[in-house]
């Protein structure tokens, strides 16, 4: 009588950028997967991406096609890693052939946050002095804040979160605009002086959510990832990503969104703004949450009818100069 030998389950290799925030997010995903699959081994492997290496040039000047994802994607296609954890806002809407968005995890607060220098303790955007120097590397934040607060001075800032906060504390800036989710994940919520309302700053597509990318022909990994998928977040993010994809915008274009699910309905708001803040187009659509991507396309077409494409064409021309 012959006995059957069962081969051990493969070790699942998780790819991550080397930044502090990326590792916190990746280890969180590893922990969640381990909770669901205690008998499996999940190994984290780190890589430096192009965006991590260039810190002295504005993001909009170096392009955003896979800026923080390409090296991880090459690793997956070369079978070096099985999946990669991304801040979803960094993941392009068009993925390389052979790769898919395997799952989207539950979202942290996607809002932008104001962090001020100690001398402005207690102040918010509407009480900061005229000419206050605001640091941000995001054209989306820049355009919206210029629209609402033209009396501020805006200055580009790069580097990881600790580097940026160090520059603020050293007095190079009066305030910074950062993602509330990143501050929370790094246990720095106490640095938030104001969670900026969506009426002032619509957030980036996918902000606050993690996207797990993997090979499309790896059913085992796709099945494993189902355990940490958060459907309401996924529906919201699919709508946002479809909106961005339809407008052919990247994460370094002033396009902002806000999504909400009420019952079976998804409410999607989107905006496109000029870089100088002189004009801003915004609208909202509502529909079935199960038709999330169709809603994103509908909103993009609605904004196009209101002049969004002309604004985007101007911005692309400016960025390429």
Residue 319 DSSP SS3: helix
Phi and psi torsions of 278, nearest 5°: -80, -20
Listed in order, strand segments (DSSP E) in the chain are 12-17, 42-47, 83-87, 99-104, 112-116, 133-135, 153-155, 175-179, 194-195, 210-215, 255-262, 265-273, 280-288
- CB atoms under 10 Å from CB of 171, counted, come to 11
Let me know if 90 is a catalytic residue: yes
* Token pair of 251 as six digits: 């994460």
Looking at 82, 90, 174, 218, which residue is catalytic?
Answer: 90
CB 135 within 8 A of CB 167: yes
Residues sharing a CB contact under 8 Å with residue 218, sequence separation 6 or more, in sequence order: 82
CB 164 within 8 A of CB 157: yes
Rounded-to-integer distance, Cα 273 and Cα 277, Å: 7
- CB atoms under 10 Å from CB of 70, counted, come to 16
C-alpha closest to that of 46 among 27, 65, 67, 32: 27
Rounded-to-integer distance, Cα 179 and Cα 14, Å: 24
Active-site amino acid positions: 90
């Amino acid at each position: 009588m012959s006995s059957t030998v069962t081969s051990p389950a493969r070790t699942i290799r998780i790819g991550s950028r080397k930044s502090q925030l990326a590792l916190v997010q990746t280890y969180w995903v590893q922990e969640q997967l381990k909770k669901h699959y205690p008998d499996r081994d999940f190994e984290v492997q780190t890589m430096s991406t192009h965006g991590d290496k260039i810190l002295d040039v504005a993001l909009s000047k170096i392009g955003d096609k896979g800026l923080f994802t390409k090296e991880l994607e090459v690793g997956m296609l070369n079978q070096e890693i099985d999946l990669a954890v991304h801040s979803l806002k960094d993941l392009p809407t068009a993925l390389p052939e052979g790769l898919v968005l395997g799952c989207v995890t539950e979202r942290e607060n996607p809002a932008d946050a104001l962090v001020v220098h100690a001398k402005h303790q207690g102040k918010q955007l509407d009480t900061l002095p005229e000419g206050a120097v605001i640091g941000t590397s995001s054209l989306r934040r820049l355009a919206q804040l210029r629209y609402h607060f033209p009396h501020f001075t805006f200055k580009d800032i790069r580097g990881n979160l600790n580097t940026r906060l160090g520059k603020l504390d050293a007095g190079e800036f009066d305030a910074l605009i950062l993602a509330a989710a990143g501050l929370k994940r790094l246990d720095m919520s106490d640095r938030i002086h104001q969670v900026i309302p969506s009426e002032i700053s619509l957030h980036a597509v996918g902000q606050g959510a993690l996207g797990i990318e993997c090979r499309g022909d790896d059913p085992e990994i796709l099945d494993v990832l189902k355990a940490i998928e958060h459907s309401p977040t996924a529906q919201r993010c699919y709508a946002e990503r479809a909106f961005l994809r339809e407008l052919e915008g990247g994460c370094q274009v002033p396009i902002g969104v806000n999504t909400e699910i009420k019952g079976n309905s998804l409410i999607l708001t989107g905006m496109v703004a000029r870089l100088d803040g002189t004009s801003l187009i915004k609208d909202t659509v509502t529909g079935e949450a199960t038709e999330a991507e169709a809603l994103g396309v509908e909103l993009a077409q609605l904004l196009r009818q209101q002049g969004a494409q002309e604004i985007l064409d101007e911005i692309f021309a400016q960025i390429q100069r």
